[in-house]
Amino acid sequence: MPMAMTPSPPPSDRPRILFLGDNIQYNPDIYQRLASQFDIIHPQSADLHRPAFLQHLRDGSWGRFQAIMRPSWHTGGEMGNWDQELIELLPPSLKVYASAGAGYDWVDVVCLARHGIVYCNGAGASTEAVGDMALWHIISVFRNMTSSLLAARSVDSTQFSHAHHDLPAISYNPRGHTLGIVGLGNIGYAIAVKAYAAFGMKILYHDIVRKSSEQEEMVKAEFHPEIGSMLRKTDCLLLATPSTMGGRPFLTSEILAQLPCGSRFVNIARGSLVDEEALAEALRSGDLAAAGLDVHASEPHVNAKLATMPNVSMTCHTGGGAVETKTGFERLAMENVERVLNGQEALTPVNAHLIKELMTNGHANGHGMNGERNGTL
């Protein structure tokens, strides 16, 4: 089990890891390997709430730790956003912060880079689960699954008969339709593979980085460097792109206006990417036929207008919610920390390229880019 938090950790020559959140549940062997090499400090949950957490950092309660790991997404984030206020208090010894979760809109990865701290996410662990959830929402927006589900659960024979007789006239198979994906990273590409293999959908994508010709050929993907050209050809728009802290919504009334009338929308990325009022208006007017949302702008609260619409399918940000995902998050958090502290490259670095650019260009923060912190990323 992890060490209990003590106000002043005893001196040790071994690198120290600050462990945030619940105990390891799925990968005890990896944890034991980690504990054999490093001192692990495990704060109590009360010390993770922001005021207490910041004070402990100011006081140096946990010593000069070299790594932070947060292996579980549902705990360890009680202190809120990792912004400049918090990051400035981290010790100059810190090299790596490895967290569960694929998204990183809650952490200022640029600020971490200025301090020489590599941030690692749980990329890859949730790919399969999120990809499956995306397919469910794609089916839902084409086949009007929410209307059918609500009618069946109403235990009302009239509603059941209405759905049974009327929904087929406005429902379509996904096969042969065009799926436009914004962001063809690990998750976006997995969705493309699944949608192409399962439904025979035509894959279009927009990204800042183009996939290799071999990857494109596997799903017959068509690259669009200009977003507008993709939108005009899209039957179902799907967001699989990261959101950044303080970033603006991607899906606005201007973007929606470029989609063909009667198209559909699915979001398995981040709720902050969507102007939900603009989405609700497009659905109300009929410009958009349906929407599938696993993520929401004000979680855990959902938009009341969207929640009342029978052509909107909603899930509770459970796209990655599977035991396999939790197992993978744990493993990646621990293995990323282990590798960086042993002088190896991290498995899933998010901002390592920024650190290298800052070091090359001489824009490093004097506090962070010192000899103690710099390490192999």
Q: Which residues are catalytic?
A: 270, 299, 317
In angstroms, how far is CA 201 from the centroid of its own chain? 24
CA distance 351 to 112: 8
The two structure tokens encoding residue 139? 């089916």
Q: In a 10 Å sphere around its CB, with 0-12 CB exposed, 13-18 middle and 19+ buried, how is residue 44 labelled?
A: exposed
- Map residue 112 onto helix, strand or coil: helix
Beta bridge partners of 68: 18, 97
CA distance 65 to 52: 18
Q: Where are the beta strands (DSSP E) in the chain?
A: 3-4, 16-19, 39-42, 67-70, 96-99, 118-120, 178-182, 202-206, 222-223, 236-239, 263-267, 288-293, 312-314
Q: What is the DSSP string of 123-176?
A: TTTSHHHHHHHHHHHHHHHHHTHHHHHHHHHTT-HHHHHHHHHHGGGG---STT
CA distance 70 to 98: 6
The two structure tokens encoding residue 370? 């010192």
Q: Which long-range contacts (CB under 8 A, 24 or more apart) does 214-220 make?
A: 215/189, 218/193, 219/189, 219/192, 219/193, 220/196
Whether the CB-CB separation of 112 and 353 falls below 8 Å is answered with: no
CA of 358: how far to CAs of 32, 88, 162, 165, in Å? Answer: 35, 17, 62, 62
Whether the CB-CB separation of 256 and 278 falls below 8 Å is answered with: yes
Cross-sheet strand order for the sheet of 288-293: 222-223, 202-206, 178-182, 236-239, 263-267, 288-293, 312-314
